[in-house]
Amino acid sequence: MNVTIVDYNSGNISSVINSFKEVAKDKVNIKVTSDLKRIKSSDKVVLPGQGSFKSCVDALININGLVDTLNEFAINNKKPLLGICVGLQMFADIGYEEIETKGLGWISGKVSKIDNQKGKFKLPHIGWNEINITKDSKIFKDIENKSHMYFVHSYEFVPEDKNVISATTDYSSNIVCSVEKENIFGTQFHPEKSDKIGLKIIDNFINL
């Protein structure tokens, strides 16, 4: 099996790479690349994201043909794709970080700044927080509800269809922290930084 982590210069993704390789061991071929042929031929794709919504979208667009290849992979061919942090946020139609920026449009919704209730809550939301699993998601197999995951973000994904939400976390309000729509999965938290439970989520995705 081939799992490709998309490298599109979105920031330091070394922890994502290391965690996937740790889980995969020698059983799964993990490749880090922006090569379109490699992505097309993969069984699964991971879309990490570090930085602002706009900078990540711009970085995707700057690699000629990458957005079309990801659309073909996830939307047309219905192969499993996991978005992490801004990788999840880019599923949205639109994001409002820096300036209004068009997203991939895979899951209808928007990305807007977390309401920190006039300074009561610090932004970015950094650290461990409890998640509330709201539906039976494949990537949460054998994960206990109320597990703690590691977060670093100031913006949140607000999907139009609440049925895609697979987990939320409480930080100033109920924030969507995981989605599942058919073959498309996303986590706002960082499974690669969430200790053994995070590695289990990565293992669940690899074994879909």
190 is a catalytic site residue:
yes
Are the C-beta atoms of residues 125 and 170 closer than 8 Å to each other? no
How many angstroms separate the CA atoms of 164 and 146, rounded? 19
Residues 97, 156, 180, 192: which is the catalytic one?
192
148 is a catalytic site residue:
no
DSSP letter (8 states) at residue 139: G
Q: Which two tokens stand for residue 51?
A: 């930085």
How many angstroms separate the CA atoms of 20 and 120, rounded? 36
Residues 85, 125, 153, 177: which is the catalytic one?
85
Q: Which two tokens stand for residue 186?
A: 């996303």
Are the C-beta atoms of residues 152 and 126 closer than 8 Å to each other? yes
Number of residues that this document lists for the chain:
208
Q: Is 99 exposed, middle or buried (0-12, 13-18, 19+ CB in 10 A)?
A: exposed
Are the C-beta atoms of residues 43 and 5 closer than 8 Å to each other? no
Residues 97, 125, 156, 190: which is the catalytic one?
190
The residues carrying an active-site annotation are 85, 190, 192
